[in-house]
């Protein structure tokens, strides 16, 4: 009996090891609930060669949505975001955006890629959408591999628009022109009043002299 248990344990060990050797180590973000959180402007390298086929998403969210794929997460802050994906090994890489894990609730996807976008050539496949404040979005990145074979080794990141610059304050017409201080304006006003009073006094004295 102990020998039988040891034999079964040994067979199970061989099966486990062969799965790792033959099929490779599955990526940590192979499932949506294990998605890797992306930070704005920070590039993340990934590989979907040994990921699961997502048959549940077949024909749901963009091209090749049922191929080997991995998941990334974006947390919205009320700004438009642009997701960028480029390839490091000449494999076509497509992606789609989901609103929720484990559903077919697709937000959108870019057009189907006909050739790989080369990271070294500063090319990327992009898709933009409004990421509502407090909402999470899940990026499903897949390769063009149908069955066995090396998938896409890619780089993914997203960007947000910068805050708009503060508008230049409008100067009121009542304010003094450039180079003229408020004190100089007040002095000019009082000098004008004083000159007017003096002229009036001189005219009055002249009229009084004439009458006398």
Sheet (strand 93-98) strand order: 36-37, 69-75, 136-143, 93-98, 106-108
**Given the structure tokens 């066995």, which residue do they identify?**
148
* pTM higher than 0.95: no
The answer to whether 156 and 71 are in contact (CB under 8 A) is: no
The answer to whether 203 and 195 are in contact (CB under 8 A) is: no
The CATH code that applies to domain 28-159 is 2.60.120.380
Q: What is the pLDDT at residue 39?
A: 97
Mean pLDDT of 182-210: 57
Whether 141 shows a pLDDT value over 90: the answer reads: yes
163 vs 45, more confident: 45
Whether 204 shows a pLDDT value over 60: the answer reads: no
What residue ranges do the domains of the chain occupy? 28-159
The tens digit of pLDDT for each residue in 158-176 reads 999 986 544 444 555 554 4
Instruction: Report the percentage of the chain scoring pLDDT > 90.
Output: 42
Cα Rg, the chain, nearest whole Å: 37
Distance CA 71, CA 95 (A): 10
- The pLDDT-based confidence of 184 (bands split at 50, 70, 90) is low
Nearest to 152 by CA among 68, 53, 96: 68
Three-state SS at 185: helix
Query: 154-182: buried (b, 16+ CB within 10 Å) or exposed (e) per residue?
Result: bbbbbebeeeeeeeeeeeeeeeeeeeeee
């Amino acid at each position: 009996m102990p020998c039988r248990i040891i034999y079964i344990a040994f067979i199970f060990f061989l099966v486990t090891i062969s799965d790792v050797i033959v099929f490779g180590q599955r990526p940590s973000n192979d499932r949506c609930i294990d998605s890797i959180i992306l930070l704005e402007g920070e590039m993340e390298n990934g590989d979907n060669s040994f990921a699961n086929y997502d048959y549940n998403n077949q024909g749901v969210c963009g091209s090749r949505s049922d191929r080997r794929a991995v998941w990334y997460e974006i947390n919205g802050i009320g700004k438009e975001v642009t997701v960028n994906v480029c390839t490091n090994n000449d494999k076509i890489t497509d992606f789609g955006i989901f609103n929720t894990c484990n559903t077919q609730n697709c937000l959108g996807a870019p057009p189907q890629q006909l050739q790989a976008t080369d990271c070294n050539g500063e090319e990327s496949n992009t898709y933009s959408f409004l990421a509502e404040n407090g909402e999470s979005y899940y990026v499903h990145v897949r390769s063009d591999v149908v069955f066995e074979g090396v998938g896409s080794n890619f780089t993914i990141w997203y960007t947000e628009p910068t805050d708009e610059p503060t508008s230049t304050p409008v100067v009121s017409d009542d304010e003094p022109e450039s180079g003229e201080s408020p004190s100089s304006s007040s002095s000019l006003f009082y000098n004008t009043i004083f000159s007017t009073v003096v002229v009036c006094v001189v005219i009055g004295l002249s009229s009084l002299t004439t009458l006398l």
